Amino acid sequence: MTHIRSEIIGTGHYLPSKVVTNDDLAKIVDTSDEWIVERTGIKSRRIVAEGELTSDLCVNASKMALKNANLKAEDVDAVIIATITADNITPAVATKVAAELGVKTGVPAFDISAACSGFIYALTIADNMIKLNQAKRALVVGAESLSKITDWTDRNTCILFGDGAGAVVLQAKEGKGTNADTGLLTAKIYADGSGYEQLKTTGGVSLTESTGKLWMNGKEVFKYAIPAMAGSIEAVLGDVGASLDDVDWVIPHQANIRIIDGVAKKLNLDNSKVIITVDHQANTSAATIPLALSEAVEEGKIKKGDLIALTAMGAGFTWGGALVRY
């Protein structure tokens, strides 16, 4: 029997050039570099320039991913973008990005809204499209301009977020159906709407006819995140009969170093296997995982054949995990 797997054949990322340090934030809210580093592990974040749009971040990250995949935009037959900060409420930013890249007319392009879990949701959907032969090559992007919905007067939240984009190109590949095959081995996505009010924007189209700003019950989110993320890693490992010892790298959603450490502790995971970007990027929501993946590939940390576990948790609540043989 033929097994179709979605192989990651290119990764890319883009960060806006403007760096905002904790000291910069201490000038606008009552906080300090010491407090932010101790409670979150964040030292700085990137913020979009005036006029720089989420679509621009997507286009830059996608160009890098396509180049690394040795492909042109016209070779792609699906474009999926995970974001909660698209240029417009409608149309999907994916259509704009596809047009700017030169993706062929008729190729489906749409956005996924699952907050910080968005990239794992998008990856799952793209993988299913590939397995159903609805696409041979999919461009999957996670991108955010969270600075646009950040309440810059709220020290509880404004210290946590940043802007950026990461992208991968997936391609159908026939395999034997074993864990040695390269590609996405398995993915699981989840939601629990009882957490809806815990992390949200204070407004929305139907609620207030505006976007509102990010608001969060930090303690509740924190408590939920650790078991959800650890549990999703255990679930994807269980799915393919693998153990953490088989995993070369874990890329967790980058919200707070204490959440990441909590997940590692719960799993009894060696910290040296965990990719960290939260220190210099903060929480870029759907972008953190593809950003971290692309940076780690570029740095030569992640190599062909490595087994990578991805996990994320975010607003909704939503969460999920995936196992990728790179």
Cβ 208 vs Cβ 183: under 8 Å:
no
Q: Which stretch binds ligand COA (CB under 6 A): 92-100, 215-223, 237-245, 301-309?
A: 215-223
Asked whether position 160 contacts ligand COA by CB under 6 A, the answer is: yes
Residue 118 contacts residue 83 (beta carbons within 8 Å): yes
> Based on CB atoms, which residue is closest to ligand COA, 146 or 172?
146
Tracing tokens 């690394």 back to the chain, one arrives at: 68
Applying CB under 6 A, does 219 fall inside the site for ligand COA?
A: yes
Smallest separation (angstroms) from ligand COA to the CB of 223: 9
Looking at residue 132, the DSSP 8-state letter turns out to be T
Strand partners, 310: 251, 322
Nearest to ligand COA of 216, 242 (CB atom): 216
User: How far is CA 5 from its chain centroid?
Assistant: 21
Output the smallest distance, CB 253 to ligand COA, in A: 6
The closest residue (CB) to ligand COA is 218
> How far is 309 from 236, CA to CA, in rounded Å?
8
Stretch that binds ligand COA, among 45-53, 85-93, 166-174, 220-228 (CB under 6 A): 220-228
Residues 29-68 that bind ligand COA (CB under 6 A): 31, 35-36, 39-40
Which residues make beta-bridge pairs with 14?
Answer: 165
Instruction: Read off the amino acid at residue 311.
Output: T
In a 10 Å sphere around its CB, with 0-12 CB exposed, 13-18 middle and 19+ buried, how is residue 215 labelled? middle
- In the annotation, is 133 catalytic? no
DSSP string, 15-55: --SEEEEHHHHHTTSS--HHHHHHHH---EEEEPPTT--HH
Q: Do 272 and 296 form a contact (C-beta atoms < 8 A)?
A: no
Contact segment (CB under 6 A) with ligand COA among 54-62, 163-171, 218-226, 244-252 equals: 218-226
Give the whole-angstrom CA distance, residue 128 versus residue 62: 21
Q: Which of 13, 60, 116, 158 is catalytic?
A: 116
Instruction: Please identify which residue in the block is written with the tokens 């903060």.
Output: 282
Would you say 19 or 216 has its CB closer to ligand COA? 216
- Nearest approach, Cβ of residue 43 and ligand COA (Å): 13
Task: Based on the shown chain and the rule CB under 6 A, indicate whether residue 20 belongs to the binding site for ligand COA.
Answer: no
110 binds ligand COA (CB under 6 A): no
User: Does 27 engage in binding with ligand COA (CB under 6 A)?
Assistant: no
Cβ atoms 309, 321 nearer than 8 A: yes
- Give yes or no: 158 in active site: no
Among residues 8, 107, 116, 187, the one that binds ligand COA under rule CB under 6 A: 116
If binding is defined by CB under 6 A, does position 150 make contact with ligand COA? Answer: no
- In 3D space, the residue among 7, 47, 52 whose CA is nearest the CA of residue 25 turns out to be 47
The helix/strand/coil state of 325 is: strand
Interface residues for ligand COA in 223-262 (CB under 6 A)? 225, 255-256
Which positions are catalytic?
A: 116, 253, 283
Q: Using CB under 6 A, list all residues that contact ligand COA.
A: 31, 35-36, 39-40, 116, 155-156, 159-160, 216, 218-219, 221-222, 225, 255-256, 283, 314
